[in-house]
Structure 1
Amino acid sequence: MEEWGVSIGPGTIHHSDFSVDAGLEITDRLLALAEVPTAVFTANDSLALGVMSAAQRAGVSVPDQLSVVGFNDTPLAARLAVPLTSVKVDFARIAADALDLLLSPAATDRPAVQPHLVERASVASI
């Protein structure tokens, strides 16, 4: 992120479980910082839902004041009041590739599955 001129301030990276409640709790802490972040990237869509709920409760507009990106692109992501931008990963492909590697241990090829961003309304245009 430093390459892009984006600094990560103290108190902006949090470790938690993957629940909506954790997203709520973390967002309350983020919104209390002296320098409130303008974007949040979460480890899954449940956390992102918690972030969006806490933002709404605090009167913070998603995406106008806070952009939110989830991970997994669950079916719920597209159905939220503000549809969630999320990173989609082909877990079935990862499982198939892992099985191939287990069954062919001599193989030297290491497959790479590329995630992709599913853009929806939870991220502001820059």
Structure 2
Amino acid sequence: MNEQLEEKIEEMDGLEDINKQLLTKELLSNDELQKARKELITGLNEMLNSSRVNIGIKRMGEIDEKAFQNIVKHKFPPEEAEIKTIELCSLWQEKLKNPDFYPFKIIHNDGKHEEVLYKDDESQYKLKDEWEG
């Protein structure tokens, strides 16, 4: 039993050493991350203050309501247009949540890549025909 106890103590000492090494690595990594964060913040502030820079942020997979608002407000009174905009956005947001839904195909035209609508996606053309002037 004494041998087993000594083995367990040695094993525990080895695990403590590994734990100390991992803690040291974590602290060093955290220090590096904090330095990089400070540099990025400083660089971004300098860039924004040095010239006129417009950085826009858009969440991937989210519908831009403005496009729907612009079309709907021409066909409905203001109070009804807001409701229609929300309905359309909700409908198309649900379609975007489907991972199999990708409404574009990429074609090569004169050495450039272009995204065009799939011709067999009736829902997009129905939307376009219904809402375009």
TM-score (norm 1): 0.19
Largest Rg, 1 or 2: 2
Instruction: Using CA pairs under 8 Å that are at least 6 residues apart, name the structure with larger relative contact order, 1 or 2.
Output: 1
TM-score by length of 2: 0.18
